[in-house]
Structures are given as structure tokens and as C-alpha cells.
Structure 1
Amino acid sequence: MMELPPGIIYLVSCLPQVLSPPALVYGLDRICDFTFGVSLPEWSRIPAYILSFPVLFTCTVLATNYHDRRQAALRGAVLPPMFPSTWPGGLDVLAALAQNFKTGYMGDIMDNQCETLGHTIFTTEPEYTKAILATKFKSFAKGPMFWDQVHSLLGTGVFNSDGDVWKFHRSMTRPFFSKDRVSHFDIFEKHATDAINQLKTRLRDGYPVDFQDMVSRFTLDSATEFLFGKDVCSLSAGLIYPPSSPLSKDVAFENHPANQFAHAFSNAQIATAYRGRFGSAWRLVEFWTDRVKAHMDVCYKFINPILKEALDKKQMLKETETIDEKAEAKDREVKEGETLLDHLVNYTEDPIVIRDEILNIMIAGRDTTAATLTFVICMLSQHPDVLRRLREEILNKVGSSRRPTYDDMRDMKYMRAVINETLRLYPPVPFNVRTSTEPTVWPGVNGGRSIYIPPNTRALYSVFLMHRRPDLWGPDAHEFDPDRFLDERLHKYLTPNPFIFLPFNAGPRICLGQQFAYSETSFFLVRLLQQFSSVSLATDVQTAPPTEWAKSSGRKALEKVVIKGHLTIYAQDGVWVRMDEANPTEVV
């Protein structure tokens, strides 16, 4: 059955809203004619129909504002400030956001409005974020608009579900992120060794390496082996060459199945993020074709055979199970060596539900850790003193060749501080949103009035902007300084107010893979810095920010790469580096 184009679906859904104003005018005209024998003159009917749209829209807005102000007053609160707009429906704001998404510095527009109107309009206030994520968790959900925008990508997975569906997905995946499972490093060791060996070879050949691409392959292979029991072998395709090299145009490389999957997966996320700039009207931008679905179809061709194999295996086992074994299947603990996919088929045999959950976890397992590793290396390239100190800790703790254990990495305080400082300035999920499900009130802050949030209100929040606020982190908030997580600043700023640092979210939806991410990031950094002693940006290849950024204030003036975000943060065109191998006999 052929699907209707997205734009047609949107226009059909808008028909009630489009038809109701002229229908109201027509109905009132007929009532007046029937009751009083008075109707609109013929010449005035078309203007009346046309004027009915702005009149009804204005009346609706005024009535809604009056009702919301009354509800706020009854609760001793005020409404949050509105994002200033001069065009109907805030079209100028949408246009500005879309343009900023393409060419601007991430978060600029929202940050400017927060500076002018306070930290409520686009939430960067810890108390409000705490309310959304924790204290008033039941009053907020992902919401229908978010679901509509990302459904082509995430389906009904854990990141795109609410209520009982979310609880179901959460309960399915929780057992796979216990301490025992995230401290088994065989998968990390296998793929880290492969990635670092390729890195050495490419650097020895005289080429810089796109570190972001390399660690994305490392985390993709690690995540898919963790999830499926078999990896997609993206590292087997080889690392990319710089654009100036003729080898970068290798057709075989581009057509490698793992590269096609990875490119489609990334493009689907970019297309999904772009929808967020157009609200519920995104289908007008993708009028004839769902761009996300086109990319996801490529991903499904890769994943569906793996799902089918797992479900067929489950069916064969079911035929030999006893009644008692079937009853216990969903309640049993995870077996040693069992993959998440094996575990999921014990909960449901719906391939769509399983596929959606796998893809949700894959985004979390691949993109967030890859982003953290990318920006750690980006920061180390600009702070050789931090790199030297981090290597000293690694070599003192595990030496130049020993594989680190879970306890080793737990004891590396400076390593954790470097990772945390990177997560502070470059949180993997920089922007997020919830929708209120009922009327709720946020507490007043700094002597201000409490804030009334009407039902069905989208509450956008940004840990990216919150993590960079000087009033929360100190006057050096825009500087990269891992010691802030070790010295007196930790007790001055973070300890009294832990909600100023939320790289893994908080509350009931806090990231289940937090320790997995710390372990994978730490493990790779140990293995990398055991073998390399320096790193620098390859400025002859690296896409640099516009020169005018250097004249700006804050972190923007310090950036050496162009940061972007879809569902997660990344560097535009990669992070190209050159690295020096350590002396094999180096001992600290």
C-alpha cells in the first residue's frame, strides 16, 4: 500500500483548523439569517471569510493567555517569559533557529535570549531542570510533538516513549548495565587494539587521522558486538583519508556495507534534528519524501537479517521448552555471554519493538561515547599540560602496556576529572525537551516568583548552556580545567548543587549506560595514551571556525573546531589530528 507524502498528511491533519474559521462565519451567518432575517451582504462574505483566520487566531491566543494568567495567579505564580517574535506563529524564530543550525555557533540564539530574559525561556536553570527530570517527573513527558518528529528514527524505543511503554523498555535493558557487565573489557580491548593499530599505520604513512571517524567506528563495533554478539566490522573498512588525498575518493570504501550503515545512521539523525527547527510543520519541509525514513531503510536492511536470525533461534528453542521454562523465560536473570538481543527476544517477539530498542541503545552506545572521546582528544590537543599529567597518571597506575582493570580506572582521579570537564563543556546530548502533561509550578529562584507551566507546554532545556554559566561554575566557566572537579571549586559549586552537572540526565530517566560510558571512554584513553605521547590538530586539514568567532566572548572565541548537534554533539567534518608515538621503553 502506497503511503501518502508527509506534506499531504500534514495538510489533511490541518483541515479542521483551516476550515473552522470560515465554517464559523458561515454558521453564524446562517443562524442570523434564519433567526433574524439578517445576513451578510454578498460583497462582504469573501472578506469576512478571509478575516476570520486572523480574528479567530487572535481571539484564541488572547483567551488562552487570559486563562493561563488566571491559573498562574491562583497558584501565586507567573507565566514564563515568551520567546520574542515579530512574525505570526513565531516564523521568524523558526527561520533564525534553522539558519543557526546550519551556519551558526550552537546555542547562540538561545544563549542570547537567556542573557536578556533570564534562564527560564529556554531552561538553563538547575532548579527548573531538576523539576522537569526529577521532582515533578510525572508532570512531564517526551510528548506528542517530539514523538512525531523522531518516530521515523527512534520508533517506539526507550528514548521516544512515555508511561508504561517507557517502563517496559527500561526494564528490558536495565540488567545489561550492571557493574559486572560493564567491567568486562574483552570487547573494548579487541576493537581498541584494531583502531589504535590502524591509527599508527596511517600516521606512519604521513597522513593525519580523523579521530572522530575512528572512535565512531570503535564505538559502533563495540556497541554492535555488545548488542548483537557480532560487530558490523566498520573498522575493517579502514580509516578515511583527508579530502585532499586521491585515496579519499575510493569507491570500494564508500560502498563498504558498514560505511553505508554508519553514513545512513548519521544522516538520519541530522535530518531528525533539522525537523526540530520547524515544530509540527516539519512535513512541509519534507513535503514529498520522509528523509529520515529513506536513510533508516538502509539501516534496516543491515539490521533485519540479524533480528530474523535471533527470532528464528528463539522459535527453535521454544519448540523444545517445557511449560515451566516458558513461564520463567521472561523472569530469569541474564545468562553469562548472553547479548542484549538474546535477552530482548525473551520479552517480546515483535521484530519492530526489538529493532527500535536496539537502535535506541545503539545511538546511546555509539554516538555519546564517540563524542566524549572526540572532544577529550580535541581538548588534549590544545592543553599539552593536561595531556602530560594524564599520561603520568596512566603510566604510574598501569604502566606502558598492561591492560587496565575496572579498579585501575576507578582509582584514576585525574582521568575522571578530564572526562567530566569534557562532558561539562561538550555534553553528548546538548539540548532536550519535555512536554507538560498537567498544570505544574516550578519553584521560584533567586527571590523570584514561582513559574506556572500550563498543560501541553513544551519545556526546552539545555545542559550545554547550563554547564557554561559563570554564575554556576565560576568566572572561569568557559575555560577547560579538569582541576575544577578536584580542588575547592568542586565543593564551592558542584557539591552544594549537583543539578548544575547533568551530562547523563537525572531522575528516573537517568542514563542506564553511565558507567558503561565512563568505562569505555577511560579504557580507550588508557590504551591510546600508553602508546602516544602527544596530539595536535592538523590545521592544514581541519575545518576551522569562522575567523569572526575569535572576536566573540566566552567559549565561542576559544573553539578550534565547528561544533554541531543532532541528537548528540559532534564536530563538523571531523577532528583531524597528528600524534607522536611514545618511546617503547618509556617508564615514569
Structure 2
Amino acid sequence: MAPPGVVYLSQRLPRVCAPPALIYLLYLLAKDFWAINLPNSLVLATIILSPPLALALSVEWTIRRDQRAAATLGAVIPPQVPHRWPGSVDILLKSLNNFKDGYPGDNMEPWINKLGHMFNVRVLFENRIFTTEPEHIKAILATDFSNFEKGPVFRFQMESVLGMGVFNADVDMWRFHRSMTRPFFSKERISHFDNFDRHAEDAIQQMKARFRSGHAIDFQDLISRFTLDSATEFLFGHDVQSLSAGLPYPQGSSTTPIGQAEEHPADRFARSFSEAQTAMAKRSRYGLAWPLLEFWVDTAKSHLGPINAFVEPILKDAVEKKRRDGELGLKPVNGQLEDTLLDHLVNYTQDQRILKDEILNMLVAGRDTTAGTLTFVIYLLSQHPRVLFRLRQEILAVVGSHTRPTHENLREMKYLRAVINETLRLFPIVPFNVRTSIGATTWPSKRADGKPYYIPARTRCPYSVFLMHRRTDLWGPDALEFDPDRFIDERLHKYLTPNPFIFLPFNAGPRICLGQQFAYNEISFMIVRLFQNFSSVSLDPDAQPSSSKPPPSWTNGSGRKSIEKIRPRTHLTMYALEGLWLKMDEGTEVE
């Protein structure tokens, strides 16, 4: 296959060459038919300048067209972020710098303060209408769902790794994936806790051994192993046993890890998958032009070796099992032969690509999202010991210090759910997302004249629940504080109940997360098990890599940035840069 940059340029070569070709044709006509001899230098200059001039005219024509269409509907064009360089390259560079070193969404703050919560960030001559308004996000996800799709740009950016899986699919392919997976997430399946308990016990015993030896652990690493093992067993019936590789020690430690963790296939998969997601997320800043930055090598695709080595044996085993069952004349009756989601999928299709794409998409959903949420739960509890004390009181009162929690126990623990929801509010696991409009539409505005905003057809519309969840006008003056009681006390009825679209950690509408309750169950179960065994949690700055600590400049920043002790980062999901290094004290009673 040709390099990405070559493919990109070849597809656009006719458009780029058309203006110079037209100028040269006019030159020949002037010379041969009208006997007009133009200076060669003028002709050459005109040919060279014709592509950027044509681009400028095209941009101006598009702006004028949208203004006329908006006026026809009694609407207005969204406010545009000002730029200094052609193509808003200065905005692009600022976005890339924030992606690399900044606090999530920090680059948006000046624009929000100046223009409001909805504006056009026009980058590389492409409209990107960004919003954190609940009514706009509601339209995208629910009330105008049929007019918004992931879109060709998103698929182009993600296809290297996610293929045509459910996260990357639209219309018929999305419905196909949805219909395949929905029946598997029944209450009976997601409330079966043997899987969680077995892996939680393994993780906690390793934690105790490490703490007793006087060392900190990277909780994010440990919990990612826990969720990978439980997810692969639940989804595919194939526990990859990543916890058996042993936990990493802090940098500079003279202690040798048990086993060869860096050689474990699950570790190679996790590292490559994370790097591939980072590469795909970086592409979103460039839009369609990302191949120019990965001209000779598809960076995301270059990480597929370890990913394929991890996934393909799982897929092969499932297909082989299906073949053997067929030879024996066994057919699924009431799902009895469908022990796992992969068994279920194989009964729908034998297409290797579809199955592989769905496996990778489900691993993002089943591993990364839950691990990230648990990481931020524990981080926030380390900073709020009073919340942890109250949470342990509830856990020990409802479940006890040793009993395995049941589904009914988890439903009874209101404060536990509030702690999880408040974490998801401050650190939603998918902080930024995007859809593309299919046809032109309008969104309500808060303008004095009441005119709505015009959204052109085929326009990318990024939105951020991360920034929406932190808005003081939506959540109250204490919106930046971690306070689980807001999901229990009068603030719940004041803010969230009348406007449920201000809280969207699992998306909404037809594409709402199918695994939402599964995630709540797994997160809740692990939190209960952790604090049945441990009474406190504290960060270990000595173990934390220096590059993962917030820079001194954050201290004077606005919002939560000034108080963070870790560096939140995003690719497709949110995570803590270089881990969450901490220590915990054992205890079975509330002090």
C-alpha cells in the first residue's frame, strides 16, 4: 500500500493542478488565437499563485454561501475564533501544544470567556463548530440524531486501528454492530461477579505484598491489568492473565520485578494500543490533512504488530470453537453455547475483519474506560480523606469487611454511586468527542435577538462533556470541587434533575454506552473490595516520575489545574500521564 502522504496528495492533485492548468490554457489561447503575447515572468507568477488564490476564493465563496443560507433560515453564523496566520496555523500549533503538555481543554478557556460556549474553530480552512452547550449536545446525540454521524473524517483518522468497529461506524454498519452486541449485556450477565472477584483478589494480594515491602505501586498500571484480565475473560472467554506479569517498580528502584513483565504479550498489547490511540487522537487536530504529518508511515498502523499478535489467537480460538460445535451438530439454544460476547458475535458473522474490529473496539470500552475511571476515583479519594472515610463507613455497614458484595449491595450504596458519578463529572472518561452534520441545521442560541446558529451540512462539530461538566452556570459555584454530595442533596434537584443533559459520562441517545451498567458494576465492585482491605490512600511523590508531575506554571493557572497533583491526559480516553503512584494502609475497621 502506498504511503499515507502519497495517497493524500494523489487524491488532491487534480484539484491543486486545475488552477495552474487553467491559467496555462488561457495563456495558450491568448497567444494562438488572440495574438496576445504576455511576459513569461507574468505567466509563471500567475501559474504559481493560482492554487493559493483559488483556495482563497473558495474559502470566501463558502463563507458567503453559508451566510446566505443562514439568513434564509433566520439564523446567524457562529462566532469565529480569531487567527493570525493563514489557515489558522497558529490555532493548530496551540492545540498541538495543549495536547502534548497542557491541561485538557485549557486552550479553549480564552475562547469560551470571549465568545461563549459555542464557536467556530476554523483550522486549515475547515469549519469545526465546537460546543459545550447541553442543548446542542442533546441535538447531536438525541433529538437530531439522524442528522449527525461520526463522519468520513473521523473514520479516516481512526480506521487504521479501529477499522469499522462500533465506535467508528455509521448508519447500517453501526446498527449491525449494535444489534450484535446489545443482547449480550443482559442484567444476568453483567451481574455475575465471579470474574470480578477472582481478578480483584489477585490484584489486592499483589498490592499488599508490594506495600508490605515498602514500595509504592502504579495504581493505573495495576487497575489496567485488572480490567484487561476481567474484560478479556468476560468478552472473549480468554483471560490473558496480565496480572501474572508482576507489577512495575518505581523508576530508579534496585528491586527486580518478578518475571519479565515487559515481555508479557498483554503488556506489549497495552503499550502498543495506547500509543496507537495517541497517534489517532493527534490526527484529530489536523483533520483531513493528517497524512502530511505521517507522510511515509501510518504511525497508528505501525503499532498493530503486538496488537494483532494479541487479538488474533483469541479470534482464532473462537472461530475454531464455532467450527467444532458445527461439526458436532451443536447449535445455540437460548444462548447456552454463547458463554462470551465473542461466541455471540461468531454466531452472527464469520467475517474476520468485522470480528477483529469489534474485539478492538470492545477492548477500548471494556478496559480503558473502566481503568481510567477507577484511576481517577482513587486519585480523588487520595486528596479527600473525609470522603474516603465516609465511603468506607458505607461499605463496611452494607457489605462488611470480608463478604463479597452482591448486585443488591451495590444498588443500596448511594454514596458509592455518588463518588463514582462525581469522578465521572470531573474526569469523564471520553472528555472530547465529535460528530459531523449530514444536512444543514440550526442550534438555539442565547443571543439577545434570539436568532439561532446556523450549522452547515458536512461540518465537523466537536463537543466536550469534560468542559460542560465543569461549568459553574450549570453545576453551581462549586462546580470545580470534588463533592459527591451534589448527587444526593438539593443540588441534584436544582441542577441535574431539570436538565439531565448536563451530565453525559456515557453519552446519550441511540448511541448511549451499552456497557454503562457493566462499568458501574465493575467499578463499584473493585472499590468495595479495595476498601474492605485498605483504610487509606496517599500519593507517593518520590515514586512518581518527575515528568508526570504538574509543571510549576500550573500553580498559577485557573480552575482545577492549580491544585492537581498528577497530569491528566487524553487520547481516545482520559488517563494519568505515567501513572498514579501511591501507597495504601491495610485496615478492616473504620477508625
Same topology, TM > 0.5: yes
Per the alignment, do residues 138 and 39 of structure 1 end up closer, same or farther by CA in structure 2, a change over 3 Å counting? farther
Q: Does 1:560 align with 2:562?
A: no
User: Residue 497 in 1 paired to residue 495 in 2?
Assistant: no
Secondary structure class of the residue paired with 2:82: coil
Tell me the residue number matched to 1:55.
Answer: 53
2:519 corresponds to which of 496, 507, 517:
517
Within the candidate set 528, 534, 539, 1:532 is matched to: 534
Find the counterpart in structure 1 of residue 87 from structure 2.
89
Moved more, 132-141 or 108-117: 108-117
Q: Match for 1:118 among 116, 138, 161?
A: 116
Alpha-carbon spacing, 1:217–1:26, altered in 2? closer, same or farther (3 Å): same
- Give the total of aligned pairs: 577
Q: Give the 5 Å matches for 1:369-388.
A: 369-388=370-389
Counterpart residue type for residue 384 of structure 1? P
2:552 to 547, 551, 555: 547
Per-residue deviation, 1:145: 0.8
Per the TM alignment, residue 155 of structure 1 is displaced from its structure 2 partner at its CA by 0.5
TM-superposed CA distance for 1:263, in Å, is 1.0
Q: Secondary structure at the match of 1:530?
A: helix
CA contact (8 A) 1:432 1:460 kept: yes
Q: Which residue does 1:340 correspond to in 2?
A: 341
Aligned to 1:313: 321
1:294 equivalent among 302, 310, 313: 302
For the Cα contact (< 8 Å) 1:371–1:570, is it kept in 2?
A: yes
Q: Partners in 1 of 2:33 and 2:395 — Cα distance?
A: 88
Write out per-residue CA displacement over residues 133-156 of structure 1, whole angstroms, 9 at most, x where no aligned residue: 111111111011111111112110
CA gap of 1:321–1:259, structure 2 versus 1, over 3 A, is same
> Using the alignment, how far apart are the partners of 1:158 and 1:95 within structure 2?
31
Question: Could you state the TM-score of these two structures normalised by the residue count of structure 1?
Answer: 0.95
- CA distance in 1: counterparts of 2:489 and 2:114, whole angstroms: 32
Please point out which of 23, 26, 44 is paired with 1:25: 23
CA contact (8 A) 2:279 2:300 kept: yes
> Is this contact kept in 1: 2:315–2:356, CA < 8 A?
yes
Percent identity over the alignment is 59
- In structure 1, give the amino acid aligned to 2:137: T
Tell me by how many angstroms 1:4 deviates. Answer: 1.6
Q: Give the equivalent residue in structure 2 for 1:157.
A: 165
Q: 1:67-82 maps to which residues of 2 (within 5 A)? A: 67-82=65-80
Determine helix, strand or coil for the equivalent of 1:83.
coil
What is the deviation of 1:587?
Answer: 6.8
Counterpart of 1:227 (choices 235, 244, 251) is 235
**Structure 1 unmatched runs, 5+:** none
- 2:43 counterpart of 1:45: yes
Q: Is the 8 A contact 2:238 2:314 kept in 1?
A: no
Aligned partner of 2:289 among 267, 281, 285: 281
Other-structure match for 2:124: none
Which amino acid is the alignment partner of residue 573 of structure 1? E
Does 495-504 or 313-322 show the bigger shift?
313-322
Residue 180 of structure 2 is aligned to residue 172 of structure 1 = yes
List per-residue Cα deviations over 1:326-367 (Å, max 9, x = no partner): xxx7xx753376111111111110111001001101101101
Q: Contact 2:3–2:295 at 8 Å: present in 1 too?
A: yes
**Structure 2 counterpart of 1:237:** 245
Counterpart contact for 1:242–1:248, Cα < 8 Å: no
| SS state at 2:247 partner | coil
Aligned partner of residue 134 in structure 1, secondary structure: helix
1:376-398 per-residue CA deviation (whole Å, 9 max, x = no partner) reads 10000000000000000000001
Q: 1:175 to 1:507 in 2, by over 3 A?
A: same
The answer on 1:576 being equivalent to 2:590 is no
Structure-2 separation of matches of 1:364 and 1:422: 18
Contact 1:126 1:499 in 2 (8 A): yes
Which sits farther off after the overlay, 493-502 or 28-37? 28-37
Provide the rounded CA distance (Å) in 1 between the counterparts of 2:36 and 2:230: 76
* Distance (Å, rounded) in 2 between the aligned partners of 1:446 and 1:366: 43
Q: Could you tell me whether the CA contact under 8 Å between 1:264 and 1:296 is conserved in 2?
A: yes
CA contact (8 A) 2:246 2:259 kept: no
Query: Equivalents in 2 of 1:244, 1:551: separation in Å?
Result: 31
Give the TM-score normalised by structure 2: 0.94
2:481 is aligned with what amino acid?
E
Q: Is 1:207–2:215 an aligned residue pair?
A: yes
Query: What code does the residue aligned with 2:182 have?
Result: R
Q: Is the 8 A contact 2:389 2:590 kept in 1?
A: no
Indicate the SS of the match to 1:564. strand
Checking the alignment, whether the CA contact within 8 Å between 1:436 and 1:455 is kept in structure 2 is yes
Partners of 1:38 and 1:456 in 2: CA distance: 44
The answer (yes or no) to whether the contact 1:128–1:443 under 8 Å persists in 2 is: yes
Per-residue Cα deviation, 1:535-575 (whole angstroms, up to 9, x for no partner):
00101122320122121121111211001000000000111
Change (3 A) 1:7 1:368: same
Contact kept? 1:30, 1:39, Cα under 8 Å = no
Classify the secondary structure of the residue corresponding to 1:395: helix
For 1:547 and 1:554, how far apart are their aligned partners in 2?
15
Letter of the 1:487 counterpart: D
Amino acid aligned to 2:172: D
Is the Cα contact below 8 Å between 1:5 and 1:289 reproduced in 2? yes
Structure 2 letter corresponding to 1:569: M
CA distance in 2, matches of 1:216, 1:501: 25
Aligned-pair CA distance for 1:319: 4.1
* Alignment match, 1:471: 473
**CA shift at 1:120, angstroms?**
1.0
